[in-house]
Chains A and B, each alone.
Chain A
Amino acid sequence: MRRSKYERPTHLIAGGDRPRLTTSAMIASIAGADQPTKPAPFGHTLSALAEKDDRIVGLSADLAKYTDLHIFRAAHPERFYQMGMAEQLLMMSAAGMAREGLQPWVTTYAVFASRRAYDFICLAIAEEMLDVKIVCALPGLTTGYGPSHQATEDIAMFRGMPNLTIIDPCDALEIEQALPAIAAHKGPVYMRLLRGNVPLVLDEYGYSFEFGKAKLIRDGRDTLIISSGLMTMRALEAAKALQKDGIDAGVLHVPTIKPLDEETILAECRKQNRLVVVAENHTVIGGLGEAVAATLMRSDVRPSAFRQIGLPDQFLEAGALPTLHDMYGISTQAVIAQIKGWL
């Protein structure tokens, strides 16, 4: 619970002795200090795809620079459309372009696409199965700017939209691999974007993205972590740390949230009776966790225990991202601690 705005934070004023983290830029980096990264994998990959596909155009609502679409804009200026700070127009005009045979890739922040433009994505794009790709930065808790910019419920909203495919990639490698598959899919796709210097993680595991498929990245006897997006990165780090404590944790990565690869999820959960933990950078309501739970229930698959790691059903606080990830239980340390507590 936040303290009252009328209560001065005197402990922070006049030389408080604790080292303080600052919120810094709107899009704080999610990369660890010594983690390898790749710059703007979305922007570079889309620019390369457009070389071979004349249908591809890029649109943004005054956020090209903050969604890595500025790379595409520089490479293909005549194929970039600035739609102004108008997310409804962004989706409507993309629908019109798709009707005329183009393949629009539109970018904004996930909060604006989901909360502000939902009706326009739903009726103008999804209902008509139009070939529009919606790529959104700041998914879940990836900014310290507070609820105005934290898209904690975007997947819950979009899961309810028929025809829409939802992709939540983990790292730079996966973004590079997912983009051609998304372009090849004929229909609307919502992709959660990691932008800027994006961590490179999955190369270590010989991973390859397949549209609509969950992939077992490592197996484990004691627990299976089912995760998407940046939480797969955290799950893999946690699994390495748990190994040192003699806990064998598997990681099943589910980059396609919808349609869900129920077959693989059921097969992995049936393989062995163990703790199943679903970890997601999203509210625990209506996201991957509840989707997996319903899948297991419908098929009478009962793991020894089922737990969720995700954001609470609250408007989250502002602050530094590492602080917030610890506070809300999605940092690597928090994942480790929660799993140990459940075993």
Chain B
Amino acid sequence: MTEIGHNVSLAERARRIRRHALRMGEVQGQGYIAQALGVADVLAVSYFHATTYRPDDPEWEGRDRFLLSIGHYAIALYAALIEAKIIPEDELETYGTDDSRLPMSGMAAYTPGMEITGGSLGHGLGIAVGMALALKRKQSKSFVYNLFSDGELDEGSTWEAAMSAGSYKLDNLIGIVDVNQMQADGPSLGVMNFEPLAPKFEAFGWFVQRVDGNDIDALVRAFDAARYHEGNQPRIIICDTRMAKGVPFLEARERNHFLRVEPQEWAEAIRIIDAGVPA
């Protein structure tokens, strides 16, 4: 945890992350807003409880590495990076516009705090394995986190990485899977059944926890358990989240992988988020 903002609750951080994301969504009028709303609590706990970083020095050697392999979740990570003061808040109005530092799909070369280029799904966990091995060579105490999606469980490369992390006993690697049950072609389990998920990772040698990814207290306990677990094995937190969490009329949309939102609905969504948790 950084020095800033001890006095701000994680629930308030999550509320602001949702608000930043909605404001970016409004710039485009559409997008991966349901994922951002769903994963906001996970990001709040990641950036304001679990990870160590310096907002004014995003490449500080002592930081924990936070890798987003789901390129289209960039809107969610930008919202967290804005809240973490790694990106100035006024840049959110440039989201997805020409020459912006905040492109629609996250890329390392564009954005401070963006560790890798996502988008070609199934890359993040393997890159995390390489970083974790390199950090061990350097005798670094930093953790490598990789936030990936249930859809990425379809990719064979994810499982190549999962097996190698178990084989190398990478106790400095923490995977976070956002199980929001929605992929491009529909509900995730209908696209490809990846359950039972926890036993799969256990069989690959990981320390596995499965939590309600919209329950901040449960997330805090899970991140703490992952960081302080004594076994020399990689750790994974399977987070069951709700798409569009916090905005009921968007939660209710049946297909919300890529949401189209009417102009007046953005203000309504922000009003609901603002009313949800008092500042």
- Shortest C-beta distance, B127 to chain A (Å), equals 4
B170-185 residues with Cβ-Cβ distance < 8 A to A are: none
Does the CB pair A96–B137 fall under 8 Å?
A: no
Residues in B neighbouring A119, C-beta threshold 8 A: 120
A95 at interface, CB cutoff 8 A = yes
Closest to B157 in A: A88
Rounded to whole angstroms, the CA-CA distance of A89 and B162 in the bound complex is: 10
Query: Given the interface contacts A88-B126, A128-B117, does A100 sit within 8 Å of B131 by beta carbon?
Result: yes
Q: Which A residues lie within 8 Å of B132 (CB)?
A: 96
Most buried by A among B108, B120, B160, B161: B160
Q: Contact between A123 and B123 (Cβ–Cβ < 8 Å)?
A: yes
Whether the pair A84, B120 counts as a contact (CB closer than 8 A) is no
Interface residues of B in 105-123 (CB under 8 A from A): 107-109, 115-117, 119-120, 122-123
Tell me how far the C-beta of A23 lies from the nearest C-beta in chain B, rounded to whole angstroms. 31
CA distance A104 to B127 in the complex (A): 13
Residue from the list B109, B137, B160 in contact with A128, Cβ < 8 A: B109
Chain A interface SS verdict (over half): helix
Is A92 at the interface (CB under 8 A from chain B)?
yes
Counting contact residues on chain B (CB < 8 A from A), the size range is 20 to 34
Question: What residues of B have a CB within 8 angstroms of the CB of A83 in the complex?
Answer: 164
The interface residues of chain B lying within 8 Å CB-to-CB of A96 are 126-134, 144
A101 neighbours in B (Cβ, 8 Å): 134, 138
A100, B135: Cβ atoms closer than 8 Å: yes
User: Interface readout for B134-150 with A: 1 if CB under 8 Å, 0 if not?
Assistant: 11011000001000000
CA distance A57 to B123 in the complex (A): 21
Cβ of B127 and Cβ of A95 under 8 Å apart? Answer: yes
Task: Please tell me if A266 contacts chain B, counting CB pairs below 8 Å.
Answer: no
Q: Nearest A residue to B122 by beta-carbon distance?
A: A88
Q: Which among A91, A100, A104, A120 has the greatest number of chain B C-beta atoms within 10 A?
A: A100
A88 to B156, Cβ gap below 8 A? yes
Within 8 A of B (CB), among A37-67: 57
Q: Is B193 an interface position by the 8 A CB rule? A: no
The answer to whether the Cβ of B100 comes within 8 Å of any Cβ in the partner chain is no
Report how far A119 CA is from B120 CA in the complex, Å: 8
Q: Are B117 and A99 in contact (CB under 8 A)?
A: no
On whether the beta carbons of A124 and B129 are closer than 8 Å, the reply is no
A128 and B108 contact, CB distance less than 8 A: yes
Nearest Cβ distance between residue B61 and chain A, in whole angstroms? Answer: 9
CB distance from B103 to the nearest CB of A (A): 13
The answer to whether B97 has its CB under 8 Å from any CB of chain A is no
A124 touches B123 (CB 8 A): yes
A81 at the binding interface (Cβ < 8 Å): yes
Contact: A89 with B131, CB < 8 Å? Answer: no
- In the complex, what residue of chain A is closest to B130 when comparing beta carbons? A96
A91 to B120, CA, bound (A): 14
Q: How far is the CB of A105 from chain B (nearest CB, A)?
A: 13
Contact with B along A174-195 (1 / 0, CB 8 A): 0000000000000000000000
Closest beta carbon of chain B to A42's beta carbon, Å:
22
User: Could you mark each residue 267-304 of chain A with 1 if its beta carbon is under 8 Å from any beta carbon of chain B, else 0?
Assistant: 00000000000000000000000000000000000000
Whether A120 contacts B123 by the Cβ 8 Å rule is: yes
On whether the beta carbons of B117 and A89 are closer than 8 Å, the reply is no
Taking the complex as formed, is A202 at the interface, i.e. its CB lies under 8 A from any CB of chain B? no
Contact residues in B for A30 (Cβ distance below 8 Å):
none
Contacting A at CB under 8 A, from B219-234, are none
Chain B residue nearest in CB terms to A98: B130
Does B2 belong to the interface (CB within 8 Å)? no
Contact flags A86-119 to B (C-beta < 8 A → 1, else 0) = 1011011111111111101000000000000001
A89 touches B123 (CB 8 A): no
Given the known inter-chain contacts A99-B115, A123-B119, please indicate yes or no for A89 contacting B164, CB distance below 8 A. yes
Residues of A within 8 A of B211 (CB): none
In the complex, residue of chain B having the shortest beta-carbon distance to the beta carbon of A81? B133
Chain A neighbourhood of B127, CB < 8 A: 92-93, 95-96, 99, 124
Q: Is the CB of B126 within 8 A of A97?
A: no
Q: A94 to B137: give the CA distance in the assembly, Å.
A: 14
Contact A97 B130 (CB under 8 A): yes
B9: Cβ under 8 A from any A Cβ = no
User: Other than the known A119-B120, A123-B123, what 5 A-B pairs have Cβ atoms closer than 8 Å?
Assistant: A84-B164, A88-B160, A100-B130, A120-B157, A124-B116
9 contacts between A and B (CB under 8 A): A89-B164, A91-B126, A93-B161, A96-B144, A99-B115, A99-B134, A120-B123, A123-B123, A124-B123
B residues contacting A by CB (< 8 A) are 107-109, 115-117, 119-120, 122-123, 125-135, 137-138, 144, 156-157, 160-161, 163-164, 167
The 3 closest A-B pairs by CB, nearest first: A96-B130, A92-B126, A93-B130
